[in-house]
Amino acid sequence: MGEGLMKLVNYTVMFTDDPNKLHGDLVPYTHDKEGVDYIAFTNSPHVKSDFWDVRLIDDMEKDGRYTARKYKTLPHKILPDYDFHIWTDNQVYYTVDPKSLIDGYLGDDYDVAAHKHIDRECMYQEVEACLNRPPAAGPPRQDPQLLIKQGEDYRKDGYPEMNGLYETGFLLRRNCEKVRKFNEQWWDESINRTTEDQVSFVYLLWKNKEIRMNGIEYTLCAHESALGRKKSPYVATMDKFWRSVG
């Protein structure tokens, strides 16, 4: 990493369609922040933390899921005054100094870093998996035809099969012009197609070949990998749960 102070933020969201019912919780960190900012955006007044800077907002998109995608994809607009953004889903945590994650996974060589998908290596497999979620996972997130068309359009554009896939619940990004361009495109795909952002993420990496992408070989997920990926020694997930707070 080059000389100079690193302005780094770890941010997450907890948006919900019912502010009195929350999915998951904020990671209960207690370590010294050492100059790193930890910011959580939410539309629920029940989200509290002694560690995170919790920011209550009311500029919702279509629903909680779309709003979460807006904040996930557009850190350069939401939090413009940082050199690097670490996105974590609210159940994702790490066990090391976040500055070391930036140094180790981005350094001077990469613009974006994410873990390779635990079970799949193809965007078209991801489309099928999203279309065939078990009933226990809840109702479809959008009209399935929107996702089918998204995959078909990407295929017509020439996007190849078996071109890799990433878990976007943990994402490191350099705040530079080419990444800001990528972010804008990612939000455009999310709001105008579907919120299945792992599908659009790899397509846009393919379209933006100037992005220097680091695919982390470990997995952060709890279940055993169909591809035999080893568990990350640095990043993992807590168990999600619904909690009523009203």
Handedness of CA 194, 195, 196, 198 (dihedral sign): positive
Distance separating alpha carbons of residues 184 and 73, to the nearest angstrom: 7
Structure-token pair, residue 41: 């955006």
CB count, 10 Å around CB of 1? 13
Render pLDDT for 174-211 as a digit per residue (tens, 0 to 9).
999 999 999 999 999 999 999 999 999 999 999 999 99
pTM: 0.93
> Which residue, among 239, 118, 211, 227, has the nearest Cα to 167 in the 3D structure?
118
User: Percentage of the chain surpassing pLDDT 90?
Assistant: 80
Q: Are 51 and 28 in contact (CB under 8 A)?
A: yes
Tell me, what amino acid is at 25? D
Q: Give the C-alpha separation, 246 to 193, whole Å.
A: 33
How high is the pLDDT of residue 52? 97
Length in residues, the chain? 246
Span 81-98, pLDDT tens digits: 999 999 999 889 999 999
Using one digit for the tens of pLDDT, what is the confidence trace for 102-154? 999 999 999 999 999 999 999 999 999 999 876 545 555 678 899 999 999 99
DSSP letter for each residue of 122-182: -HHHHHHHHHT--GGG-S-SS-HHHHHHHHHHHHHTTPPSS---EEEEEEEEE-SHHHHHH
Mean pLDDT score, 217-232: 95
